[in-house]
C-alpha cells in the first residue's frame, strides 16, 4: 500500500466514508500488479491508482456504490485488445478487484 493511501486512511480522511479497492487478480497485460490499492472517498476523490483511465473510472463508480450500500464486492474489468486500443491504452488483459467499505 502506498504512503498516500495509508495517510489518507489514518490521518487525512478518517471522518469521510470511503472504499478500499485492491487488485486481487490480473491476467494478460494490465497496468498494475496484484495487491495494488486505491482509496475512493464518498465525494468521488481518489487517492492512489490502480492504473488510471477507463478502468479507474469504472472502479470508482463501483466503489461509490459500495460506500452507499456498505456491501463489499468483487468486480472484473476485461480489457480486450480492441477496447484497450479505443481507450488509448496499451494493455489488453483482465483485472479483478475487491472493493470494501472501510471506516
User: Residue 6 — φ and ψ, nearest 5°?
Assistant: -60, -45
Question: Which SS3 state, helix, strand or coil, does residue 46 take?
Answer: strand
* Cell 492512489 belongs to residue: 48
Mean of pLDDT values over 60-85? 84
Residue 98: predicted pLDDT: 97
The overall pTM is greater than 0.75: yes
In terms of residue numbers, what domain contains 92? 3-102
Residue 84: predicted pLDDT: 47
CB 73 within 8 A of CB 62: yes
Total domain count, the chain: 1
Mean of pLDDT values over 57-62? 92
What H or E segment, with its residue span, contains residue 35? none
Amino acid at each position: 500500500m502506498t504512503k498516500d493511501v495509508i495517510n489518507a486512511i489514518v490521518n487525512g480522511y478518517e471522518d469521510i466514508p470511503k472504499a478500499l479497492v485492491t487488485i486481487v487478480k490480473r491476467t494478460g497485460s494490465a497496468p498494475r500488479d496484484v495487491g495494488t490499492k486505491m482509496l475512493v472517498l464518498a465525494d468521488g476523490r481518489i487517492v492512489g491508482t490502480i492504473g488510471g483511465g477507463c478502468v479507474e473510472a469504472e472502479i470508482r463508480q463501483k466503489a461509490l456504490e459500495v460506500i452507499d450500500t456498505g456491501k463489499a464486492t468483487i468486480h472484473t474489468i476485461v480489457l480486450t485488445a480492441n477496447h484497450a486500443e479505443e481507450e488509448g491504452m496499451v494493455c489488453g488483459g483482465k483485472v479483478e478487484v475487491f472493493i470494501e467499505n472501510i471506516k
